[in-house]
Amino acid sequence: MLYSLRRQLNIYAAFAAMQPKLQLAYSAWAWTEFIAQIIAMTIFVFFWRAVYANTDSLSGLSLQQTLNYILLAQIIAPLIQARVVFQFGFLIQNGQIGVELTRPVDFQLRNLVEALAGLVVYAIQKIPLFTIAVIFYGLQLPTDPITWLAFTLTIVLGSTVTFYFDWMFGCLAFYTTETWGLSVVRNGIATFFSGYLIPIAMMPTWLQQLASAMPFAQGVYVPVSLLSRIVSVDDLPQILLTQIAWLVGMMILSRIVFNIAIRKVTVQGG
């Protein structure tokens, strides 16, 4: 049993080790995203400075808190993009889905391991962007290690929750051969309700309640609000319990949805 467990760990570790090579292979894409994020941060900084021109506080948030939040959200938000939807569409369109499902590994667990490994690589890649935000845009990062630990825990849990939601949403690809429209709808909803454009704390109460009923805030608003000190670390136990509840529910539901969806596999060309 111990040998079998060790063998399984080695297999999934090998999948995780491939992620740095895959993400660093497309340097042009990485540079394009880097430049685009700098432009976006510049626009948002000037926008929010203009909004706060005649006031010291909005929804209880100071300009510095809002800038901290927006800058961090701009850096972290690409983590919630609908990569699973595109992957499912690609595998189904070229007929590779059959091969993936017959491999002697858990298909979902493999993709989760790769996603979490990609999260680590992504964080390392964004260190220069964090540095630029601190030097040129006035981003203030906490020095308290507890806050960073809380941020790390919540972003890992939140990214996992988002992964399981995307897994279920990606199952729609089994019923259609076109996933671009699905990804547009999903990314549009996630962009707003994750807190990417505006802190959820600034939304009307009914919108805050709606956002809390969706998984997207777990991947962006929750960790970013902790790191930008909009939410106190004292609330971490309740936050973690909420994220764990989301995680367990999404994990179980995603398995059920996937097992139903694979009964109908439509591949272009046959």
Task: Give residue-wise pLDDT tens across range 47-71.
Answer: 999 999 989 998 889 999 999 999 9
pLDDT of residue 266: 56
Give the pLDDT band of residue 199 (cuts 50, 70, 90): very high
Bridging pattern class, strands 57-58 and 61-62:
antiparallel
Which structure tokens are listed for 233? 């670390």
The model carries a pTM of 0.89
Task: Give residue-wise pLDDT tens across range 138-160.
Answer: 999 999 999 999 999 999 999 99
Interval 90-98 mean pLDDT = 77
Give the pLDDT band of residue 1 (cuts 50, 70, 90): low
Interval 105-126 mean pLDDT = 86
Task: Give residue-wise pLDDT tens across range 237-260.
Answer: 999 999 999 999 999 999 999 999
C-alpha 45/C-alpha 35 separation (Å) is: 16
Which structure tokens are listed for 173? 């690809």
Interval 105-134 mean pLDDT = 87
C-alpha 34/C-alpha 38 separation (Å) is: 6
